[in-house]
């Protein structure tokens, strides 16, 4: 992602690794400041996932893979048995950070699979390669999603999106924003309605910022304004990302996605989910089996931003002691979804058959075959 901050232009990923250090764009600070944070060991990386220094299914998947690579490097001097105990403990720590996005769990599993062969030094090498492979594969997947989804977007389309499913949420071009970027780069006239996405404001703080960076026309709207524009015929399609897609197509994404899907259905507006195979979880049969993260109620009762003096400030928007609930995701039933934009192209009903034929194989070579990846 090309970033222009304070006149300086940089090409950055949401998450990357330099030796034993994991680096992340600190998304908690956007859009007011652009900072890179260093995580020195797997415990720091797990903390960063949990508190949402990085966020979005793909970015936390890559971070989880890199956390596993850090754990492997930390334990590289141990005998095999102790190495595996350390690695499994690290896997548990990373899995415990956030429960909903499939990518995080798949990344941890891929790294554990990479450790099922060879002496410790080979295992370390293979885990590091597996983590890098996940990142590179994700980047390629988003490029394919851009091409496949870009073809759905016609000149003059107004597209609604929810949360942030851009380059900061999914390494590379992002998921929902990838087709929009492609259409814009192809010279099509596109416009994006950006849902604010309370409580953490990923739309206001990150999607609007990403679109601004790329010069794609957009307007930020309050979450509860989306139905108004859909009813008035001012939305041609909805594209969202996903955190976990069940085998039947039921899709967990940021809280509020379900409401947008129902209103789109009512108004006969195409509703597409952009996500690669890493987010499709064939072990989860339906949306009922997806664990929904519940976060700190203070995210609902308080807001963060800059005050008039330009200083970062948290304000309370509810009375002291207000009872609040804060589910971070909801599940959109497959019946409201027109199709999925994946690295293998567009998938339409019946979803389950297409998912099994395209995504049932592991997609990453076994542990001893990483050479050259």
Neighbours of 298 (CB within 10 A): 13
| 244 CB neighbour count, 10 Å cutoff | 29
- The binding track of 212-241 with respect to ligand MRU, each residue x by CB under 6 A or -, is -----------------------------x
Q: How many chain residues interact with ligand MRU (CB under 6 A)? A: 16
Rounded Cα distance, 224 and 230, in Å: 11
**Choice from 17, 28, 55, 260 touching ligand MRU (CB under 6 A):** 55
Q: Does 58 bind ligand MRU (CB under 6 A)?
A: yes
Pick 114 or 274: Cβ nearer ligand MRU: 274
What part of residues 236-255 is at the interface with ligand MRU (CB under 6 A)? 241-243, 253-254
Residue pair 129/114 in contact (Cβ under 8 Å)? The answer is yes
Confirm or reject binding of residue 57 to ligand MRU (CB under 6 A). Answer: yes
- Candidates 70, 93, 126, 202: give the one binding ligand MRU (CB under 6 A): 202
With residue 230 as reference, give the H or E element that holds it.
Answer: helix 226-231
Per DSSP, helices labelled H in 4-101 are: 42-50, 57-74, 80-95
Catalytic residue among 137, 138, 195, 243: 243
Residue 288 among the catalytic residues? no
Of residues 65-84, those binding ligand MRU (CB under 6 A):
none
Among positions 304-363, residues that touch ligand MRU (CB under 6 A) are 328
290 near ligand MRU, judged by CB under 6 A: no
DSSP lists the bridge partners of residue 342 as 345
Give the interface segment with ligand MRU, choosing from 38-46, 55-63, 231-239, 307-315 (CB under 6 A).
55-63
Q: Which stretch binds ligand MRU (CB under 6 A): 65-73, 165-173, 210-218, 356-364?
A: 165-173
Chain residue at closest Cβ approach to ligand MRU: 241
Binding ligand MRU (rule: CB under 6 A), the pick from 1, 25, 56, 149 is 56
* 187: preceding bond cis by omega (within 30 degrees): no
| DSSP classification of residue 204 | I
Return the closest-CA partner of residue 25 out of 63, 70, 69, 61.
63
Contacts of 328 (CB under 8 A, 6+ apart): 100, 254, 255, 292, 293, 294, 295
45, 70, 175, 342: which one binds ligand MRU (CB under 6 A): 175
Provide the greatest CA pair distance for the chain.
Answer: 66
Which stretch in 28-36, 38-46, 50-58, 354-362 sits in contact with ligand MRU by CB under 6 A? 50-58
Tell me the window of 53-61, 67-75, 78-86, 340-348 that interacts with ligand MRU (CB under 6 A).
53-61
Residues 6 or more apart in contact with residue 284 via CB below 8 angstroms: 102, 244, 246, 247, 290
E strand spans, the chain? 2-5, 8-11, 15-18, 21-25, 36-39, 158-161, 191-195, 218-221, 237-240, 244-246, 251-254, 271-274, 280-281, 302-306, 312-316, 329-332, 339-342, 345-347
Nearer to ligand MRU, 66 or 83 (CB): 66
Q: How far is the CB of 257 from ligand MRU (least distance, A)?
A: 7
Closest CA relative to residue 90, chosen from 54, 147, 107, 126? 107
Q: Give the Cα separation of 37 and 53 in Å (integer).
A: 8
- In the complex, what is the shortest distance from the CB of residue 312 to ligand MRU, in angstroms, rounded to a whole number? 19
Question: Where does this chain touch ligand MRU (CB under 6 A) — which range of 42-50, 52-60, 213-221, 332-340?
Answer: 52-60
Rule CB under 6 A: choose which of 69, 163, 211, 280 binds ligand MRU: 163
Q: Compute, in degrees rounded to 10, the torsion defined by CA atoms 274, 278, 281, 287.
A: -40
- Distances from the Cα of 7 to the Cαs of 3, 216, 230, 252, in angstroms? 10, 19, 37, 38
Task: Choose, by CB under 6 A, the member of 64, 75, 169, 192 that binds ligand MRU.
Answer: 169
Of 91 and 102, CB closest to ligand MRU:
102
- Choose between 14 and 127: whose C-beta lies nearer to ligand MRU: 14
Active site residues per annotation: 243
Q: Which residues bind ligand MRU (CB under 6 A)?
A: 55-58, 163, 165, 169-170, 175, 202, 241-243, 253-254, 328
């Amino acid at each position: 992602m090309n970033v222009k901050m304070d006149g300086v232009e940089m090409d950055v990923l949401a998450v990357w690794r330099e030796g034993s250090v994991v680096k992340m764009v600190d998304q908690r600070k956007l859009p007011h400041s652009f900072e890179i944070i260093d995580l020195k060991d797997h415990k720091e990386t797990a903390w960063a996932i949990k508190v949402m220094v990085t966020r979005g299914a793909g970015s936390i998947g890559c971070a989880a893979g890199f956390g596993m690579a850090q754990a492997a490097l930390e334990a590289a001097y141990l005998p095999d048995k102790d190495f595996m105990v350390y690695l499994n403990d690290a896997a548990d720590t990373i899995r415990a950070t956030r429960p909903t996005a499939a990518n995080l769990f798949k990344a941890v599993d891929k790294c554990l699979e990479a450790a099922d062969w060879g002496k410790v030094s080979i295992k370390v090498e293979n885990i590091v390669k597996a983590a890098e492979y996940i990142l590179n594969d994700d980047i390629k997947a988003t490029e394919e999603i851009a091409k496949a989804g870009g073809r759905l977007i016609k000149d003059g389309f107004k597209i609604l999106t929810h949360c942030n499913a851009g380059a900061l949420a999914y390494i590379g071009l992002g998921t929902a924003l990838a087709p929009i970027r492609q259409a814009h780069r192809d010279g099509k006239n596109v416009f994006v309605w950006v849902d604010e996405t309370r409580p953490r404001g990923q739309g206001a703080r990150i999607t609007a910022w990403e679109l601004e960076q790329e010069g794609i026309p957009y307007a930020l709207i309050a979450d509860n304004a989306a139905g108004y524009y859909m009813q008035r015929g001012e939305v041609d399609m909805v594209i969202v990302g996903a955190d976990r897609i069940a085998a039947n197509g039921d899709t967990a994404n940021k809280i509020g996605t379900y409401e947008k899907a129902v209103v789109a259905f009512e108004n006969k507006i195409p509703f597409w989910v952009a996500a690669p195979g890493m987010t499709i979880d064939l072990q989860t049969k339906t949306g009922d089996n997806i664990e929904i993260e519940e976060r700190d109620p203070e995210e609902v009762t308080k807001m963060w931003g800059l005050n008039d003096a330009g200083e970062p400030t948290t304000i309370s928007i509810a009375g002291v002691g207000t009872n609040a609930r804060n589910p971070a995701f909801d599940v959109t039933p497959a019946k409201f979804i027109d199709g999925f934009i994946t690295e293998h192209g567009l998938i339409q009903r019946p979803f389950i058959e297409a998912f099994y034929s395209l995504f049932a194989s592991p997609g990453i070579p076994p542990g001893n075959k990483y050479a050259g990846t």
